[in-house]
Structure 1
Amino acid sequence: MGKKSQYSIEIKMKACKDYEKGKGSFQSIAEEIGVNWTTLREWYFKYREHGVNAFDTTKRNNSYTKEFKLEVIEEYITNKGSYIDLAAKHNIDKRVVRSWVNKWYNDIEIKDYMPKGDVYTMKSRKTTFEERLEIVKWVIENDMSYKDAAYRYAITYALVYKWTRAYIDKGDDALRYQKRGPKPKSEVDESDLTEVELLKLELEREKSLRKRREFELEVLKKKEELERKLRSQK
């Protein structure tokens, strides 16, 4: 089941109708209900296409065939609509449309999507540091797609999410399982260290931080290159 929205159907409908009746701009109405104006714009575009059905929260985890995904991708690359236009037309999240287009431009195979619940309940399994790092990098390079990574690597959704957030916050070392015994260096009382030991610790931290920054820069460059490709297609 999908995450429950904090905004009810009634709130979304009223906001859309208020905009339709000229009672305010996206910005002013959005500020009244405490939502980003771009989110309100998405609501309105979907409401304009589907009416109240656009906000039906009973339908979750829809199946998307490969053919359907390719049709949506073709609509985008042939300038038949923006991400938000196509999301409204097909009543799906614009981030989903963007992820399909990104995969197509990066020559990642487009597959049928038949959701299952087992990624949330499957049993955990042992993994190596190298495998955890590979999974996290795949998630980051594929638009933070935790669920797809869970299926791809047969690991629970919760672990994929936990590892990814830990890596983003603390770097490679966060993915290493700590053995019982002496505290890791990150937890050592620095006041007990000699000047040389403290210098070594700082160098290790800088090295880990630099590696993480280099990887993040790689991801950023890849995304910028993709955005340039998308702009050149328009």
Structure 2
Amino acid sequence: MKIIYSTTTKLRLLSQFQNVNESLKVFYHNIGAGSLKRWIQQYLTGGLANLERPVHNRRYPKKLKLRAVRDYRNHRLPTKEILLKYDIRGLSQLRNWVILYNNGKEPVRKRVRKMGRKVSYDEKIEIVKWVLKHNHDYKQAA
């Protein structure tokens, strides 16, 4: 089960870490070292606002995604610089875009297919009757 820490807890732990002379691996209080590293990076890049858990997922324009992926692939910029340059919240986001790009797909947001119109109960019965009739005709023809 993933534990979600409040912004104040994250800030308190980061200030505690700053005040002790221990390595990251020794310091953490049942928190993964990766989480602490991520919080430190988020705080350094965007301050307190970057530690807050976003209410909604962030959306990135297609052009920004392509530029970030190309910088990663062609210019071999360090990932931290790419995250800062394009204001990308997490490394996993960039990695997902790179994987999509490497597989020949553009790193664009998936479109959710809209559902069709509502069908009444009577219409559903008519649809089932039609399918059964035509399915029966199809089987006889085969």
**Which TM-score band (shorter chain)?**
0.5 to 0.7
- 2:4 corresponds in structure 1 to 6
- 1:38 corresponds in structure 2 to 34
Counterpart check, 1:47 vs 2:43: yes
Q: Cα gap change, 1:88/1:19 in structure 2, threshold over 3 Å: closer, same or farther?
A: farther
Gap runs ≥5 in structure 1: 114-147, 157-234
TM-score, scaled to structure 2: 0.64
Q: Answer with 1 or 2: which has the greater Rg.
A: 2
Deviation track 1:146-180 (CA, whole Å, cap 9, x = no partner) reads xx4x83xx499xxxxxxxxxxxxxxxxxxxxxxxx
For residue 102 of structure 1, what is the amino acid of its counterpart?
A: I
Alpha-carbon distance, 1:16 to partner: 2.2
* Number of aligned positions between the proteins: 111
Alpha-carbon distance, 1:22 to partner: 4.2
Distance in 2 (CA, whole Å) between partners of 1:37 and 1:48 is: 16
- Superposed, 1:7-86 pairs within 5 Å as 7-30=5-28, 32=29, 34-77=30-73, 78-82=75-79, 85=80
Gap runs ≥5 in structure 2: 116-142
Which of 80, 84, 96 matches 1:99?
A: 96
Q: CA RMSD in A?
A: 2.8
Distance in 2 (CA, whole Å) between partners of 1:28 and 1:94 is: 24
Quick one: higher RCO (CA 8 Å, sep 6+), 1 or 2?
2
TM-score, scaled to structure 1: 0.41
Q: Percent identity?
A: 18
- Stretches of 4+ moved more than 6 A in 1? none
Larger fraction in helix: 1
Residue 14 of structure 2 contacts residue 40 of structure 2 at CA under 8 Å; is this kept in 1? yes
